[in-house]
């Protein structure tokens, strides 16, 4: 699936749809440039899961956990980690089989070409956000 959004609200709306469709154990791998809208998408996913808490990027804490919705949301941000070795050393592999839904920003740092042989969990949904202009984004979903 591929869709173009023209503002953050439209990006959040796609996330909300994903949150409504998410099932227990779902893992979403997000990739895109800095400022592409990954966290906006996660805000929508939280809303789709029925979570009312304020969602923000866990860049410095690595993981934020949101409860109170249909499923628990585990929001990971790998921006500050430099590859699979640091990710595994941080003990994040438990989120590949979440007791809820896991959303991983900068997932290419874990499962990308330099993954050291690590494979992404199944089922996994890749969500690529490409910046087309200051306001336009192309969101591509691929199920692995």
pLDDT of res. 82: 85
Q: Which domain holds residue 125?
A: 2-143
**What does the alpha-carbon distance between residue 112 and residue 53 come to, in Å, rounded to a whole number?**
31
Angle between helices 38-48 and 8-21 (to 10 degrees): 50
pTM here is 0.91
Give the count of domains, the chain.
1
CATH number for the domain harbouring residue 81? 3.40.50.300
What's the pLDDT tens digit per position in 22-73?
A: 999 999 999 999 999 999 999 999 999 999 999 998 878 899 999 999 999 9
């Amino acid at each position: 699936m591929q869709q173009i959004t023209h503002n953050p609200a439209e990006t959040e709306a796609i996330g909300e749809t994903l949150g409504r469709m998410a099932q227990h154990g779902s893992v979403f791998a997000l990739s895109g440039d800095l400022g592409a809208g990954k966290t906006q998408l996660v805000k929508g996913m939280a809303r789709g899961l029925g979570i009312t808490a304020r969602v923000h990027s866990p860049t410095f804490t690595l993981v934020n956990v949101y409860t109170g919705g249909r499923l628990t949301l585990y929001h990971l941000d790998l921006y500050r980690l430099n590859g699979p070795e640091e990710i595994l050393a941080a003990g994040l592999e438990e989120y590949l089989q979440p007791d809820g839904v896991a959303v991983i920003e900068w997932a290419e740092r874990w499962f990308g070409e330099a993954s050291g042989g690590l494979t992404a969990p199944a089922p996994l949904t890749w969500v690529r956000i490409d910046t087309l202009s200051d306001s336009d984004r192309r969101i591509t979903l691929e199920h692995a």
